[in-house]
Amino acid sequence: MNLLNRFQPRGGVHPAGRKDLSADRPIRALPLPERLFVPLQQHVGAAATPVVAVGDQVLKGQLIAAGQGTISAPVHAPTSGRVVALGDYAAPHPSGLPVPTLTLESDGEDRWSDAAIPADPFALAPDEIARRVGAAGIVGLGGAAFPSAVKLNISRKSGVDTLIINGGECEPYLTCDDRLMREQAEGIVAGIRLIHHAVGTQRALVGIEDNKPEAIAAMRAAALGTDIQVVAVPAMYPMGWDKQLTRALIGKEVPAGGRSADIGVLVHNVATAYAVHQAVALGRPLVSRIVTVSGGAVKTPCNLEVPIGTPAQDLFDYCGGFTAPPARLVMGGPMMGHELPATHIPVVKGTSGVLALTHAEIGRPEPAPCIRCSTCVRACPVGLLPLEMATRIRAADLDAAIGLGLKDCIACGSCSYVCPAHIPLVHYFNYAKGELSARERAKLKQEATKKLADDRSARMERIAREREEAAARRRAAKEAAEAAKKAAEVTA
C-alpha cells in the first residue's frame, strides 16, 4: 500500500461509537415473519409498478414489481406466499404517511424461484452484469438506495478507473457491514471482482475504519491473491461519506455539484458488493439485508438477516423487546437516520439499522444562544460555516445561506452533534434545502406556465394571421375572378 496515497480527512467528529453493543453478535437469520409489507418505492427514482395481482401465489425471489424508467429498481418477493393486498401502508419515513405497498402472506416454505446461474460469471459481458444487477433490484445498501446498475453503466461509459468499496460504517451503533465483512468476506470480494470486471476499472480499494480490525483482517485474507487493496482509514464520522472516503484513499476531491465519476471513481458499499455477488453468481435478487438492531432500550442488540418488508416490531421482538420504554425509535444510524414513527413500519432495502434509544442516549436539551465558538466550523467535513449559515436561515435570507455553501452541505449532522448550545444546525439546513427545492419547483412551474401562455398567444396570433391571410387570398381570388369575368364581358 502506498502511504502517500492517504490523506488526512477534514473536520469530522468522534461520537460515542456504541458499536460494542452489537459488534460481537454474529448475523442470525430472523425467523420468517407471517406478513411482509413491501413498499414499491425503496430506492431513488421512479416507483416500481406491480406485476402481480392480489391473490397470486409467488415464489421467493420472483419479480413482483418492475422498475419504471431509467432510474428505478424492481422489487422481488422476499419469501414464498400469497399476495394479500396491494394498497397503501405506512412508509419508512418520519411522516409515516402511507405509500403504495404490496402485502405478502408467507406460506412458511420460503421456496426460491428457479434462477439461471451462469457457469462462470466472469465470462459474462460487462453489459450483461450491469443488466443482471439491475434486474436483481440492487440499490446502494449504505443507505442512499440509488439503483446500482445505473451507477455501473454511467461509470463504464465515463471511463472510471478506480473502484472504491466503502466499508467505513462510521455511524455509531451500526455493525451490519462490520459483521458482513467478518463473516462473508469471500462473497464481498467476489462481488468487488464482478464490479471491477463490469466497469473495467484499473484498481479497487476497500476503505475500512481502523476501529474494525477483525473486518480488516478478514477482508485482507479474502482479497489475498487478487488486485484488491484493503486500506485501514482513521475512524471518524463521517468517514463513510463517499467523498470523504475518496479523499482519504486517493487524495482527490469530487468537484462541487459533480459526481465521483468526474474524477474517475466509482464508490459502492460493501453490502452492495455482496448483493452483486449473490445476484450475478448465484442468481439471487435482493430480497433481504443485514440490519443492526441496537440502542440502550433494546434487551439483546443483534445483527439480523431480515427479509425486506419485515415490520420493525418483529426485529425488536426477536431481540428480546425493550428493557425500558424507548425515548425514540430510529431507522438508520443516530447521526443521519430518521425517526421511526411506529414499529409496524417495514424494513426496506436501505435500512441499515433500527435503534431504540433512551433519553440519556439522545441527550438534547433546549437550544441556547450561539456563542460563536466555531466548534461546528471545525467539525464540518465539507468546510462550511454552519453558525453563519444558521443565522442567515433564521433571518430567512436563503440566498445568503446559499452563498455560504448551503448546497454543499451533506446533512451529516456533525455540527449539531458538537454544538455546545444544542442548536439544531443541520435541521436548519435541511429546512432551508426543502425551501430551496420548493422555490425551484415553483420557479419551474412558473416558467412552464409562462411558456404555455406565451405559446398560446403565439398560436392564437398565428391562427388569426393565417385566417386573415386566407381571407385576403380569397378576396384576391374573388376579385381576380370578377375582373376576369368583366374582361370576358367586355370582349364579348
Nearest distance from residue 387's CB to other proteins, in Å?
6
- CB-neighbour burial class of residue 354 (10 A; exposed 0-12, middle 13-18, buried 19+): buried
- State which residue, 364 or 439, has the beta carbon closest to other proteins: 364
Which residues does residue 72 pair with via DSSP β-bridges, in sequence order? 46
Rounded to a whole number of angstroms, the minimum distance from the CB of residue 350 to other proteins is 15
Nearer to other proteins, 71 or 402 (CB): 402
CA–CA distance, 425 with 250 (Å, rounded to integer)? 30
Nearer to other proteins, 16 or 119 (CB): 16
By beta-carbon proximity to other proteins, the closer residue of 131 and 427 is 427
Q: How far is the CB of 158 from other proteins (least distance, A)?
A: 6
CB of 396 to other proteins, least distance (A): 18
CB closer to other proteins, 178 vs 242: 242
- Confirm if 466 and 474 have CB atoms less than 8 A apart: no
For other proteins, the closer of residues 15 and 140 by Cβ is 15
The dihedrals phi and psi of 142, each to the nearest 5 degrees, come to -75, -15
Min dist CB 218 to other proteins, Å, is 28
Minimal distance in Å, beta carbon 258 to other proteins? 6
